Amino acid sequence: MSLDTATVRRVAALARLRLEEQDVARVQGELNGILGWIEQLQAVNTDGVEPMAGGTPGGVAAMPMRDDVVTDGGKAEAVLANAPDREGEYFGVPKVVE
Amino acid sequence: MHPTDFTLSGALAALNEGAISAEELTRANVAAVEALNPKLNAFITTTSEQALDAARASDARRKRGEAGPLEGIPLAIKDLFCTEGVRTTAASKILGNFIPPYESTVTAQLKRDGAVFLGKANLDEFAMGSSNLTSAYGGVLNPWQRKNDPSARLVPGGSSGGSAAAVAARMALGATGTDTGGSIRQPAAFCGITGIKPTYGRCSRFGIVAFASSLDQAGPFARTVEDCAILLRSMAGHDPKDSTSAAQPVPDFAAACGRSVKGLRIGVPREYRLDGMPAEIEKLWRQGLDWLRDAGAEIVDISLPHTKYALPTYYIVAPAEASSNLARYDGVRFGLRVVEKDSDLRDLYERTRAEGFGAEVRRRIMIGTYVLSAGYYDAYYLKAQKIRALIARDFDEAWQKVDAIVTPATPSAAFAEGENTDDPVKMYLNDVFTVTANLAGLPGLALPTGLDHQGLPLGLQVVGRAFDEETVFAVGAALERAADFKAVPAMRAGA
């Protein structure tokens, strides 16, 4: 599968990455190079194979459960300490609703 | 002996005997950092004053009889571990001003055990790379030099290139790293030191800037196998803040370094014998197997049939997880914000992310977004997860026949800046021997066992069963004793 320029623009928009017009062709070439290399996976027979989700040896069943309780909180100042823009106890952003 | 030449276990003994104080040891390492870092760029941030304060506090604890297992040991911390009150950048412009209000679990445990932090080590941006050249804070120079071309600027490997260079150059006695596809083992091999990626779940990922959550695992670097074992014991253990950290007891890894390998079955996977593999790598591998045979191990040929699909599988799974994890960098809650006068919220996101992320990170976010997008999820992501299961199954079958697997760590010695950069896929091939252990969640250790014709270090890798780092350490220590690797890099403290 080879990406056309419209798909490259659509993926950049989905990823919220501004893509300048003059960079589209270069990015398209790089992505198609990688995707072309990945294409070899289609040759592997995976009939009846359960997909491996997560990295835990033994699978998700081997992971511990914890009690469903609040364990943290009440740290508004720490949470806001790195905010690029804040208004009181809120993060500041450009106006969203007119 | 210059204090920076101590092994970690040697320094602990000297501290215990009172032959040296933590302050003296830290002062020597701080001096080494100040002398060498302008050339090597191994640290993004140095914390010399805090290190000396911590060393004095360590001496006071030792005096009170409260010495921890790493009391007074100066370490470098990969700048991917959040450190409370100390800037943590992930080598990205987007986190250039980020000061975490909390400490990662791994670094908290190292501090609990008495370690002293010299600073935050350089890396590839968000740990994405095999050369350290994707760092927004500049590349790291490998302290080793080619015999016939000493002016060539060699890379330390990546992503944990600063950590590996710092330990190799005697700026630190040990360091933390993380390994998603080879990011501890490849730089360890390139810099002639030892590093282990433990079993997935052995160390908590809490407070480590996430790259690919099902593959990321923290581990130590040091100059000996035993020193890695000592560090790993402090770093490991279950953490309620990371549901993927395993509720498994943490054994005395250092004790396992003394175990005999007599009777152990060592697997040699035929698929790792690559076409065009340099003869010196082939020779290094054969030599390692001979040493283990001489020590009483049995060498067994095995097959891991899906090996050749591991790298392309990784380059679906890792970017997919990265594109999700890196969605949080949006210019709103922390990190860089880029806006124009008329920017709306969407424009703020797009400008911030385009300017804040480097080219390789943007490339991987794009790949990840594409393989997860509607219509392509099954063909790419689901397919990759199934092949990942087959790769894990290959290992499960191998463990019926063998107790550990020994392979080369990398397909070559350290390369120079500018090499392997014309094509992203060429750079990705550096991880051909290491990436399978990440996909299967298994422990892998790299250690130096020889030099190439240029006088550069070459390493072997030992892979073991899940949560059997002890066998990995035993085999690694046996190889270390046989190899008796004494070569040192041209650029180092005290040289």
Catalytic residue among B92, B163, B183, B412: B183
Could you give the percent of chain A with pLDDT greater than 70?
96
Whether B60 has its CB under 8 Å from any CB of chain A: the answer is no
Percentage of chain B beyond pLDDT 90 is 95
Global pTM reads 0.97
Mean pLDDT of B29-49: 98
CB contact under 8 A, A53 and B214: yes
Cβ B81 vs Cβ B176: under 8 Å: yes
- The answer to whether B78 is a known catalytic residue is yes
pLDDT over 80 (residue B430): yes
Which of A82, A85, A96 to substitute to test the interface with B, most B CBs within 10 Å? A82
Report the pLDDT value the prediction gives residue A51, as an integer from 0 to 100. 94
Q: Per the residue annotation, which of B9, B104, B130, B159 is the catalytic one?
A: B159
| pLDDT category of residue B421 using cuts at 50, 70 and 90 | confident
Within its chain, how far is the Cα of B234 from the centroid?
A: 16
Interface test with A, best of B362, B382, B393, B465 (most A CBs within 10 A): B362
Give the residue-averaged pLDDT of B290-310: 98
What's the confidence (pLDDT) of residue B394?
98
User: B415 touching A, CB under 8 A?
Assistant: no
Helix, strand or coil for residue A83?
coil
Average pLDDT, chain B: 97
Task: Indicate the residue type of B8.
Answer: L
Among the partner-chain residues A31, A44, A56, the one whose CB lies closest to the CB of B441 is: A56
* Single-letter amino acid code for the residue at B280: E
Does residue A61 surpass a pLDDT of 70?
A: no
| B220-266: pLDDT as tens digits | 999 999 999 999 999 999 999 999 999 899 999 999 999 999 999 99
Residue B422 pLDDT exceeds 90:
no
Cβ separation B379–A85 shorter than 8 A: no
pLDDT interval class at A60 (50, 70, 90): low
Of B97, B390, B467, the CB nearest to A49: B390
Judged against a pLDDT cut of 90, whether residue B449 lies above it is answered with yes
Contact: A52, B386; criterion CB under 8 Å: yes
Hunting for tokens 């890695």 — which residue is that? B228
Residue of chain B nearest A67, judged by CA positions: B240
Determine, for residues A42 and B383 on separate chains, whether the beta-carbon distance falls below 8 Å: yes
Does B486 score more than 70 pLDDT? yes
Residue A66: pLDDT band (50, 70, 90) is: confident
Residue B213's closest CA among B177, B242, B234? B242
Residue B217 has pLDDT above 90, yes or no: yes
Q: Which residues from A are below 8 Å from B331, CB to CB?
A: 84
Helix (H, G, I), strand (E, B) or coil at A47: coil
| C-beta atoms of A52 and B349 within 8 A | no
The answer to whether B211 faces chain A, any CB pair under 8 Å, is no
Q: What's the whole-number mean pLDDT along residues B147-154?
A: 96
- HEC assignment per residue over chain B: CCHHHCCHHHHHHHHHHCCCCHHHHHHHHHHHHHHHHHHHCCEEEECHHHHHHHHHHHHHHHHCCCCCCCCCCEEEEECCECECCECCCCCCHHHCCCCCCCCCHHHHHHHHCCCEEEEEECCCHHHCCCCCCCCCCCCCCCCCCECCECCCCECCCCCCHHHHHHHHCCCCCEEEEEECCCCCHHHHHHHCCEEEECCCCCECCCCECCCCCCCCEEEEEECCHHHHHHHHHHHECCCCCCCCCCCCCCCCHHHHCCCCCCCCEEEEEHHHCCCCCCHHHHHHHHHHHHHHHHCCCEEEEECCCCHHHHHHHHHHHHHHHHHHHHHHCCCCCCCCCCCCCCCCHHHHHHHHHHHHCCHHHHHHHHHHHHHHCCCCCHHHHHHHHHHHHHHHHHHHHHCCCCCEEEEECCCCCCCECCCCCCCHHHHHHHHCCCHHHHHHCCCEEEEEEEECCCCCEEEEEEEECCCCHHHHHHHHHHHHHHHCCCCCCCCCCCC
CB contact (8 A) between residue B332 and residue A42:
no
CB B64 within 8 A of CB B135: no
In the residue annotation, B183 being an active-site residue is answered as: yes
Amino acid B429: pLDDT: 85
Residue tagged active-site, from B9, B21, B58, B78 = B78
Across the interface, of A7, A34, A79, the residue whose CB is closest to B315 is A34
Query: CA angle B420-B425-B429, nearest 5°?
Result: 75
Nearest to B370 among A11, A51, A93 (CB): A11
- The residues facing B81 across adjacent strands are B208
B369 contact residues in A (CB cutoff 8 A): 11, 14-15
Residues of chain B with C-beta less than 8 angstroms from the C-beta of A63: 243-244
Q: Smallest Cβ distance to B367: which of A34, A44, A49?
A: A34
Task: Please tell me if residue B142 touches chain A, with a CB cutoff of 8 Å.
Answer: no
Tell me the per-residue pLDDT of B175-213, one tens digit each, with 9 for 90 and over. Answer: 999 999 999 999 999 999 999 999 999 999 999 999 999
Q: B386–A66: do the CB atoms touch at under 8 Å?
A: no
In the predicted structure, residue B426 carries a pLDDT above the cut 80: no
> Residue range B311-331: average pLDDT?
97
pLDDT tens figures, B83-124:
999 999 999 999 999 999 999 999 999 999 999 999 999 999
- Cα(B302)–Cα(B323) distance, integer angstroms: 36
Query: Does B346 sit within 8 Å of A42, measured CB to CB?
Result: no
User: What percentage of chain B carries pLDDT values higher than 70?
Assistant: 100
| Greatest pairwise CA separation for chain A in angstroms | 57
The 10s digit of each residue's pLDDT in B339-397 is 999 999 999 999 999 999 999 999 999 999 999 998 999 999 999 999 999 999 999 99
pLDDT at B274 over 90: no
Among A1, A8, A18, A50, the residue to mutate for chain B (most B Cβ within 10 A): A18
List the single best residue of A52, A68, A69 to mutate versus B (max B Cβ within 10 A): A52
Q: Closest partner residue to B388 among A52, A62, A94, by Cβ?
A: A52
CA atoms within 13 A on the CB side of B64: 9
**Beta carbon pairs, A and B, within 8 Å:** 172
